[in-house]
Structure 1
């Protein structure tokens, strides 16, 4: 559900950039209450894992469409809403700048659509309320499923509203929304299943991580090296190998656009859109998670394309890990400086 710049107007894009920056600033302020030296690497490896997971598009049967995990809910459950939002922002920044996945003008929209609803709406208002009944396999499953579905529905609806406010007449509201919501319902079900599986594993082996995140508390003396190692191993396998088998079908947004307008992509307007496109062309060294030479060779073989995908998964995961961890480190230093000044 990564929006391209062609889908939005400069006014909508600028407004959503402002809203997202404000939300990030709020998160930086609030995360100072619960960040410590152990949450920093956890932010990094979870960011890398979600980056890799988003590369795997899975086919939606009988539709000719595909979907991929968003990961915002999972980040909120394991890191807390504030660290989760900042980590999602790190993922989407890396994707837009270096892999041309989502536009630069639309980056504020994408961070908001995929991070705000999951971290600040469904996680505290739905997931945590269900968990008040006690952590169990059943409650984790129900909480993950309901929250993932509602979060994705809100995100998909926001995409429709943003295109409407941008005056995209190629995507009439009624037709577009009637396609976007059902296809993202199917994607939300898969996201709920995966989220429940991951959260169930973490809770069974490292319950304090999830409990501390729910209480907005620092991890303290919890031993998480095994958890970090497990996430790293799964991330390498996901981004380096499983990403080869991603579905070639258009994702839910592209499929909805195709059914509505007859095109998976809209024409890029002149002005700021083309300026940002040129910037992205220069910064994206692995566009669409493949080598640029792969795009130029019409008869590229599957192993060569897979090598580009593998490199993208590993390098992108590492870059996301560094950015997310650096964000956490900077906030942690700000917290220590604030305490020192107060003392």
Structure 2
């Protein structure tokens, strides 16, 4: 569901940057106040896992379309909505700048559409609602399905609305919406099953790693695995997915590209090549060293595998540095207040 710059006007793109930036500022402020040092490695490992999982587009049978994990719901069910949102921003920013996935002008919209709903509605509202009486396999499945479907439906609606409000394409709002919603319902159901499988794995082996709001009174019991063992397994899976299983990704257009293709005959629209659009495109070209998840000089399969491993490791490092920076800043501010 990564939007391209060609769908958005500068005004709408700027508005979405402002909205996403405001939420990110608030999330960072909340994280600095949380006394949870153990959240940092969880953010890094789960962020790497989501990045790698997003590289696998799964086919939607009978449609000629495909989808991939968004991951906001999955992240927030483990690290909470604020940490999940900041982790998703790191993933989407790296995808945009290093891999050329999604437009630079559209980054604010992509953060809102793919991260905000999943982290704060799926993970922040529906996850606590379904697990309020305690963690169980049934509660995890219900929360994962409901949260993922809601995330994808709201995201698909927002893409349609942002495109319509921009007014720079000939995509009719109603027809575009009627294509986007059903295909993303199918993708949302698939994401819900994947999310429930991953969260179920965590629940079976280290249930206390799953996030529950303070004061819920339903603290999970310790699992049979150590925290380090579980995080190590997830980190290894992320590298395996990014460097190997990503080669099995479907070549069909994703839900957004499929919807655009049904209306225009092409999966991509040609955007303005001048002004702020040209400036954004040139800047993104200069940073997208692994464009299209390929490494220059390597064949396609090896290039994808290497790009997947590099991206997975980069996300793990970036998110770890982000978490440490936020915690250090809060500790410094707390020290200053004491003096």
Question: TM-score, length-normalised on structure 1?
Answer: 0.92
CA distance in 1, matches of 2:37, 2:126: 29
In structure 2, what is the Cα distance between the partners aligned to 1:35 and 1:278? 42
Tell me, yes or no, if structure 1 residue 313 matches structure 2 residue 308.
Answer: yes
How many corresponding residue pairs? 330
Q: How does 1:124-143 map to 2 (within 5 A)?
A: 124-143=124-143
CA contact (8 A) 2:80 2:124 kept: no
**Contact preservation (8 Å) 2:152, 2:188:** yes
**1:73: which partner in 2?**
73
| Partner Cα distance (2:120, 2:151) in 1 | 10
The 10-residue stretch of structure 1 (225-234 or 75-84) with the greater mean CA deviation from structure 2? 225-234
Q: From the superposition, tell whether residues 216 and 122 of structure 1 become closer, same or farther in structure 2 (CA, over 3 Å).
A: farther
Task: Tell me if structure 1 keeps the 8 A contact 2:72–2:123.
Answer: no
Cα RMSD of the aligned pairs, angstroms, is 1.7
Higher relative contact order (CA 8 A, sep 6+): 1
> Which of 206, 221, 237 is equivalent to 1:234?
237
Aligned equivalents of 2:213 and 2:293: distance in 1?
34
Contact 2:296/2:303 (<8 A) preserved: no
For residues 255-287 of structure 1, the C-alpha deviation after alignment (integer angstroms, 9 at most, x for no partner) is: 000002222111121211111111111111111
**Which secondary structure state, in structure 1, belongs to the residue aligned with residue 210 of structure 2?**
helix
SS at match of 2:37: coil
Alignment counterpart, residue 280 of structure 2, candidates 271, 276, 281: 276
Partner of 1:323: 318
Asked if structure 1 preserves the Cα contact closer than 8 Å seen for 2:76 and 2:83, the reply is yes
What is the rounded CA distance, in whole Å, between the counterparts of 2:214 and 2:317 in structure 1? 26
1:45·1:321 contact (CA, 8 Å) conserved in 2?
yes
Give the Cα separation in 2 of the matches to 1:216 and 1:263: 51
Correspondence 1:296-307 to 2 at 5 A: 304-307=299-302
Conservation of the 8 A alpha-carbon contact between 1:268 and 1:274:
no
Post-superposition CA distance 1:200-233 (Å, at most 9, x none): 111121111114x53399xxx9952112201111
In the other structure, the counterpart of 2:7 is 7
The runs of 5 or more residues in structure 1 that have no matched partner are 295-303
Q: Which runs of 5+ in 2 are unaligned?
A: 217-221
Q: How far has the Cα of 1:168 moved from its partner?
A: 3.4
1: CA distance, partners of 2:327 / 2:125: 27
Q: Counterparts of 1:40-189 in structure 2 under 5 Å?
A: 40-189=40-189
Deviation at 1:292, TM superposition (A): 4.3
Quote the offset at 1:293 in angstroms. Answer: 5.3
1:184-208 Cα distance to aligned partner (Å, 9 max, x none): 0000011000100111111121111
Cα offset for 1:252?
0.4
Distance 2:142 2:81 in 1: 19
Partner of 2:320, secondary structure, is helix
- Normalising by structure 2, we get a TM-score of 0.94
8 Å Cα contact 1:176-1:256 kept in structure 2: yes
**Post-superposition shift, 1:34?**
2.4
Partner in structure 1 of residue 269 of structure 2: 266
Contact kept in structure 2, 1:80 and 1:216, CA below 8 Å: no
> 2:59 is paired with a residue of what secondary structure?
strand
